[in-house]
Structure 1
Amino acid sequence: MTDLTQVFMDLVRYETRLYNAAGERLRAEHGLTMGQFEFLRIIDSRDGCRVNDLAEEAAITVGATSKAVDRLEAAGWVVRRPNPSNRRSSLLELTPEGGRLLAAATPTFEDGLRHWLAEPLTADSLEQLASTLNLLRKTMEDASAGTPAG
């Protein structure tokens, strides 16, 4: 029988090491943290992205997300624009500098993923892993399990 505690520990430890390894390269080569990269990527991929959208996608609180966006804005990578459909919120956009940084950092990030995620596995194993993780994540999201409070 599979030891579920060990599966959990392996999954968490692997995710932590992968996140840290990717973050170390991004910081060394682009002066960017993993969290900053993730936010720039999400903002770039969503038209009309709001702080709430970022928080939901990253599974962190709106307060923490807003503070992170403040730092991205102070760095000159993101700008807040008035939301024409809701004056209480703003829409986030990458600045030209933020777009250039994301474009430069993305190949570095993807190279790290190839090295630590794709190369150790066969193509079939990677496809199975991707499918399994997607199913597990969707199951928790559908149950609203593990969502941040606040």
Structure 2
Amino acid sequence: MAHESGIATAREAADDGLVLAFGRLQGAANRLEYILGRAIEEECGISHLMFEVLLILGRAGEAGLPMRAIAQERVLSTGGVTRLVDRMEAAGLVVRDADPGDRRGRLVRLTPAGEETAVRAARIHRENIRRFFLEPLPEAHRERFAEDLKVLSHAARDALPRLR
């Protein structure tokens, strides 16, 4: 019995063009994250997730961000962010200060060592992105591909319910 999707068997599901295309995207993203994350870990001693938090805090500027904002930005639980920030604070990359707008809240901000680590890691990351993410693509497709990824990222972000 055929279905509207054209998928009636597990074989058809496995061979479906859309399913395969998304699988390739996911596979490429997972492998690239491993390759690029490992380089940051080896060169800078931080995880890729820590690097992403350093970048989020870098965008936030001197004032820093509340933990819930970091959690929303990374789509993590507040408990997960707390444990991550604990490790980053122990490593001297961030500090937590009182939040003037919320007596119970804390703002997380970069330390000078966190700033330095973010810059060093970003230089390594940028070179590896060029090498493993852009160079394999035909030069004429690179800019359009980056724009298409931005569209997909924004569409997925907008489809997610806002985390509380």
Decide: shared fold, TM above 0.5: yes
Give TM-score scaled by structure 1 length. Answer: 0.89
Deviations 1:119-150 (A, max 9, x none): 112344122212222212222222226x77x8
| Alignment pair present for 1:106 and 2:122 | yes
Number of the residue aligned with 2:12: none
Unaligned stretches of 5+ residues in structure 1: none
Indicate whether 1:137 and 2:153 are aligned. yes
The residue aligned with 1:15 is: 29
- Structure 1 residues 20-57: Cα deviation after superposition (integer angstroms, max 9, x where no partner): 11111111111111111111111111133121111111
Determine the C-alpha separation between the residues in 1 that align with 2:112 and 2:134: 31
CA distance in 1, matches of 2:37, 2:157: 25
Code of the aligned partner of 1:81: D
Secondary structure, in 3 states, of the residue corresponding to 2:65? Answer: coil
Cα distance in 1 for partners of 2:47, 2:92 equals 15
Alpha-carbon deviations, 1:73-125, whole Å to 9, x = none?
11111000111011121111111111111121111011110001111123441
How many residues align? The count is 147
Q: Which structure 2 residues correspond to residues 76-87 of structure 1 after superposition, within 5 A? A: 76-87=92-103
Q: How far apart in 2 are the matches of 1:131 and 1:124?
A: 13
Q: Which runs of 5+ in 2 are unaligned?
A: 1-15
Bigger-Rg structure (1/2): 2
CA RMSD of aligned residues (A): 1.8
Distance, in Å, in 1 between the alignment partners of 2:88 and 2:75 is 18
Q: How does 1:1-150 map to 2 (within 5 A)?
A: 3-47=17-61, 48-144=64-160
Aligned residues: percent identity? 31
TM-score by length of 2: 0.82
User: Could you tell me how far apart the structure 1 residues matched to 2:19 and 2:76 are?
Assistant: 25
Aligned equivalents of 1:137, 1:104: Cα separation in 2: 26
Q: Determine the C-alpha separation between the residues in 2 that align with 1:36 and 1:112.
A: 17
